[in-house]
Amino acid sequence: MKKTMYEKIWDSHLVHEPENGTPILYIDRHLMHEVTSPQAFEGLKIQQRPVRNKHSILATMDHCVPTVDRHLPIKDPIAAKQIKTMADNCDEHDLLIYDMNNVNNGVIHIVVPEHGFIHPGMTAVCGDSHTATHGAFGALAFGIGTSEVEHVMATQTLQQKKSKTMLVSVEGKLSKFSTAKDIALAVIGKIGTAGGTGHVIEFAGSAIRELSMEGRMTLCNMAIEGGARAGLIAPDKTTFDYIEGKEFAPKGDHWAAALAYWKSLPTDDGAVFDTIVELAAEDIAPQVTWGTSPEQVSPVTANIPSPADFDDVIKSSACKGALSYMGITAGAPITDIKVDLVFVGSCTNGRIEDFRAIAEMTKGKKVSAAVQAIAVPGSYLVKEQAEEEGLDKILMDAGWEWREPGCSMCLAMNGDQLSEGQRSASTSNRNFEGRQGKGGRTHLVSPAMAAAAAIEGHFVDIRNWA
C-alpha cells in the first residue's frame, strides 16, 4: 500500500491498537519546559514511579526567564518558583537541562534542533502546542497536556487517535521579500484556524523544498495555528546537512544506517491524502494580521476588511469584535497602521536567519523615535552567532534593544509585555486578545516586515521600500 509520511511514522511507532480503544504510540523524544512539567513530576512522585527513559528527555527554561538583568534574582515570585522547581525536578531525576544560565539555554523549540536532538522519523512530544515545529525534520511532533507529560515520562508511550492527512502544496518561487512566515500566515488565512482540525499537515511543493531548515521550522511551528495536530516536511539533503555533526546526531556507522532510514520516509508517489490545499508561491505577498486570530490576515497591500466582507456570520461578527479590540478602521490601508513596539523573537522567528533578515533591513537606518524595538534571540547559540556576525551591533546602532534569550513578549509571562492599548508588530505566532499583555494589540508579521515597521513607524510593503 502507498503510504504518506505520517502513516509511515505512525505505523513504525504503533505499540498496540485495541479493537475498540485508542491506539498506543511509542514516543522517542520528550521535550520539557518549566510551565507544563511541575504537576507531571508531582504525579510521578505521588505514584512513586521513576522516569522510564531519561535519555529521551531534554529540558529548558524559557517561558518565565527574564531577558534583561539575567544575573539578578528573578523578581516575580511565581516565575522564580517555576524556575527553581524545574531545576530541582531535573536534578532529582538526573535529566538533561539547559538551565537559564547554561550556554545552550533558549526556547525549547529552538534549542532542541540546535543540538540534533530530533531526527526524521521520530515521534516527539512536549507539554507545548508549538512542538509542531519539529515536524520540519520529518518527525511526528505534537503538543500534549500535563497529565500526558506524566504518562510519557512513566511509560514512554501515549494514547493517540490517528489523524487524517492534509497535503498543503506550495509550488513556485517566493518573491524575495516573502518568507516561510508569509506562507504560514497565507495558509492559515486560506484554511482558517479550524481548517486543519483532526489532520496532520504535510507541507510539500517546490517552494517548501527551497526553504532552509529555519524556514521549515517557522512553517511547521504555525501548523497548530491552522488547527492541525502537527506539521510535517519530507526530510532531504537540507535536513541531513543540518543534523550532521550535531551533538545528538547519529555518528559513524549509525549515520549511514540513519540516512538510509530517513530517505525511506517521504510520502510514496500515489499515496492518498484526506484533504489537499494548493497555493502558488508567486501569489504570497508579505502578510500582516489585522485581527485577534491568526486567520484574520491580509496581504500588506490590502485595506482593513469590514464585517460586510464576510458572508459567514461568525466570521463577520469576529471581524467586528477584532476591529474594535484592535482600534482600527475598516477600509483603511494596512500600511496606515502605526506601531508602538516591534518584537522579533519566539520559537516562530527567533533563529539566526531571522536576525540576519532584520539586520539586513535595518543597516544604515534608524528605528523610528516613536517605536521601541526589541530583538530577543531564541537561544544563547543564536545570540552568540548573531554577535559573531556583528548583527547585534547593526541593530543596537539603529536603536534596537538586544536581549537575552527566552519566550519573552511572545506570551508575556516573563514581564516583557505590551501595556493597555499598545500596538506591536510581532514575529511570534499568536495575536489573541491580551496575548502580549492585557489590552495589548498584536499584528503578526515576518522579521523583515517587523524591521521595516520599526524604522517607518507603520507597516510598509517591503517589496517596494528602499
Ligand X SMILES: CC(C)[C@H](C(=O)O)[C@@H](O)C(=O)O
Interface residues toward ligand X, by CB under 6 A: 35-36, 63, 128-130, 143, 411
The minimum distance between CB 320 and ligand X, in angstroms, equals 25
The minimum distance between CB 191 and ligand X, in angstroms, equals 20
Residues near ligand SF4 (CB under 6 A): 62-63, 107, 109, 128, 130, 346-347, 407, 410-411, 428-429
Q: Please, are residues 441 and 457 in contact by the beta-carbon 8 Å criterion?
A: no
DSSP string for 4-39: -HHHHHHHHHEEE--TTS--EEE--EEEE-TTTSHH
Among ligand X, ligand SF4, none, what binds residue 36 when CB lies within 5 to 8 Å by partner kind?
Answer: ligand X
* CB of 129 or CB of 156, closer to ligand X: 129
The minimum distance between CB 68 and ligand SF4, in angstroms, equals 17
Among ligand SF4, ligand X, none, what binds residue 143 when CB lies within 5 to 8 Å by partner kind?
Answer: ligand X
Report the residue number whose CB is nearest to ligand X: 129
The minimum distance between CB 109 and ligand SF4, in angstroms, equals 6
DSSP string for 307-352: GGG-SSHHHHHHHHHHHHHHT--TTSBGGG-B-SEEEE-HHHH-SH
* CB of 374 or CB of 410, closer to ligand SF4: 410
Cα 98 to chain centroid distance, Å, stands at: 19
* CB of 59 or CB of 304, closer to ligand SF4: 59
- Taken in order 452, 456, 460, 466, the sign of the CA dihedral is negative
Please name which of 375, 372, 341 lies closest in space to residue 357, comparing C-alpha atoms.
375
Among ligand SF4, ligand X, none, what binds residue 346 when CB lies within 5 to 8 Å by partner kind?
Answer: ligand SF4
Bridge partners, 344 (sequence order): 375
Q: Distance between CA 441 and CA 424 in Å, rounded?
A: 6
Among ligand SF4, ligand X, none, what binds residue 89 when CB lies within 5 to 8 Å by partner kind?
Answer: none
Q: Take residue 424 and report the three cell numbers written for it.
A: 506591536
Among ligand X, ligand SF4, none, what binds residue 35 when CB lies within 5 to 8 Å by partner kind?
Answer: ligand X
270 φ, ψ (degrees, to nearest 5): 90, -5
Q: Please, are residues 13 and 25 in contact by the beta-carbon 8 Å criterion?
A: yes
Q: Take residue 387 and report the three cell numbers written for it.
A: 554577535
Task: Map grid coordinates 502537527 to a residue.
Answer: 230
Q: Is there a binding annotation on residue 410?
A: yes
The minimum distance between CB 38 and ligand X, in angstroms, equals 12
* CB of 205 or CB of 406, closer to ligand SF4: 406
The minimum distance between CB 406 and ligand SF4, in angstroms, equals 8
Please name which of 235, 228, 147 lies closest in space to residue 184, comparing C-alpha atoms.
228
The minimum distance between CB 388 and ligand SF4, in angstroms, equals 23
Among ligand SF4, ligand X, none, what binds residue 428 when CB lies within 5 to 8 Å by partner kind?
Answer: ligand SF4
Among ligand SF4, ligand X, none, what binds residue 107 when CB lies within 5 to 8 Å by partner kind?
Answer: ligand SF4
Among ligand X, ligand SF4, none, what binds residue 424 when CB lies within 5 to 8 Å by partner kind?
Answer: none
Strands 29-32 and 24-26: unpaired
The minimum distance between CB 164 and ligand X, in angstroms, equals 22
* CB of 205 or CB of 406, closer to ligand X: 406
- Taken in order 24, 26, 32, 38, the sign of the CA dihedral is positive
Dihedral class, residue 376 (left if φ above 0, else alpha if ψ from -120 to 50, else beta) = beta
The minimum distance between CB 170 and ligand X, in angstroms, equals 24
Q: Please, are residues 210 and 179 in contact by the beta-carbon 8 Å criterion?
A: no
Q: Take residue 448 and report the three cell numbers written for it.
A: 523583515
* CB of 180 or CB of 410, closer to ligand SF4: 410
* CB of 27 or CB of 411, closer to ligand X: 411
Q: Take residue 383 and report the three cell numbers written for it.
A: 545570540
* CB of 114 or CB of 128, closer to ligand X: 128
Q: Is there a binding annotation on residue 64?
A: no
Q: Take residue 350 and report the three cell numbers written for it.
A: 527567533
* CB of 267 or CB of 349, closer to ligand SF4: 349
Among ligand X, ligand SF4, none, what binds residue 217 when CB lies within 5 to 8 Å by partner kind?
Answer: none
DSSP string for 227-260: T-SEEEE---HHHHHHHTTSTTS--THHHHHHHH
Q: Is there a binding annotation on residue 90?
A: no
- Binding residues for [4Fe-4S] cluster are 347, 407, 410
**Binding residue positions:** 347, 407, 410
